[in-house]
């Protein structure tokens, strides 16, 4: 069966919406599903959750991006494989893709993050999917209990444009009538961008948030959101699920799942500040957005 989001049901009445994903794969009804609502009063402080180590995220020079509308989200893959380690992870993990989940522009922008904190959702959510560095691909990673790790960043609507390099433009070339675009983005310099606190995050064991809903995914959900302007966030709602005559790609998120017997851990306030190169993570987001909307 074909899976879809609730926002697609009127156009594709026979597709399986999130409530019925378990009919496609039974794992989607498992006990360790994502996303979840993080209740801060119930999180457990874990002193071993130090700041993550980021390798290869401080990209210099031109960078190639494979940008794809896969019918469910906007996905990007890098020509290189940045890595993460530390932060309570027992191994190093290499990035294989990043993608977004978002809401819809109405009278006001309705939030579309997948995770929530104390019941509050953000405008969007960015996922950077990693697999163990010694494994070849996601299929191989799913065969290992610690094979997949995802970084999640909330994106909220701010009063100012995140940086001058983002230009509102047409997203018509992201309709599904083309599949993959390779674009080269020049190195960008951001000496004064906001210093995001990457030392504070939540950690729990969950699943991928789309079928096959593979479990035993190590989730790192950062507290501090990235800010984009309303104009920038709204650009995503101009993408279509299919061709230009199809439904706009909106509300492409899975509802929160039961926590069940799991615990959510918190890194707390750490005296160790992230190394300077970690702060290059935010321009990575900028690379993607400026590529999509030129």
Put residue 260 in one of left, alpha, beta given phi > 0 → left and psi -120 to 50 → alpha.
left
**Residue 29: φ, ψ to 5°:** -110, 20
- Count of CB atoms situated within 10 Å of the CB of 172: 11
Catalytic-labelled residue, pool 2, 72, 99, 214: 72
Structure tokens at 235: 């650009």
**Residue 31: cis peptide before it, omega within 30 degrees of 0:** no
List of residues 6+ apart from 221 with CB closer than 8 A: 38, 115, 152, 154, 201, 202, 203, 204
DSSP 51: P
Q: Catalytic residue at 72? A: yes
Cite the active site residues. Answer: 72
């Amino acid at each position: 069966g074909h899976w879809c989001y609730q926002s697609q049901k009127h156009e594709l009445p026979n597709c399986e919406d999130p409530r019925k994903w378990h009919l496609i794969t039974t794992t989607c009804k498992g006990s360790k599903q994502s996303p979840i609502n993080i209740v801060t009063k119930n999180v457990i402080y874990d002193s071993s959750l130090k700041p993550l180590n980021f390798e290869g995220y401080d990209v210099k020079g031109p960078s190639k991006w494979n940008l794809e509308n896969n019918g469910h989200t906007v996905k990007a893959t890098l020509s290189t494989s940045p890595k993460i380690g530390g932060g309570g992870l027992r191994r190093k993990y290499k990035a294989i893709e990043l993608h977004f989940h978002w809401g819809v522009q109405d009278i006001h922008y309705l939030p579309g993050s997948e995770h929530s904190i104390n019941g509050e959702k953000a405008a969007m959510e960015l996922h950077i999917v990693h697999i163990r560095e010694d494994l070849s691909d996601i299929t191989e990673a799913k065969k290992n209990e610690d094979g997949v790790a995802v970084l999640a960043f909330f994106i909220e609507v701010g009063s100012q444009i995140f940086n001058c390099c983002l230009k509102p433009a047409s997203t018509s070339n992201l309709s599904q009538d083309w599949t993959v675009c390779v674009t080269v983005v020049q190195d960008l310099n951001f000496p004064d961008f906001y210093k995001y606190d990457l030392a504070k995050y939540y950690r729990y064991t969950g699943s991928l948030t789309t079928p096959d809903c593979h479990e035993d995914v190590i989730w790192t959900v950062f507290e501090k959101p990235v800010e984009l302007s309303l104009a920038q966030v709204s650009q995503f709602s101009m993408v279509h699920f299919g061709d230009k005559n199809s439904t706009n790609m909106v509300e492409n998120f899975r509802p929160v799942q039961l926590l069940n017997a799991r615990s959510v851990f918190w890194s707390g306030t750490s005296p160790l500040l992230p190394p300077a190169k970690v702060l290059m993570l935010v321009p990575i987001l900028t690379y993607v957005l400026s590529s999509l909307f030129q």
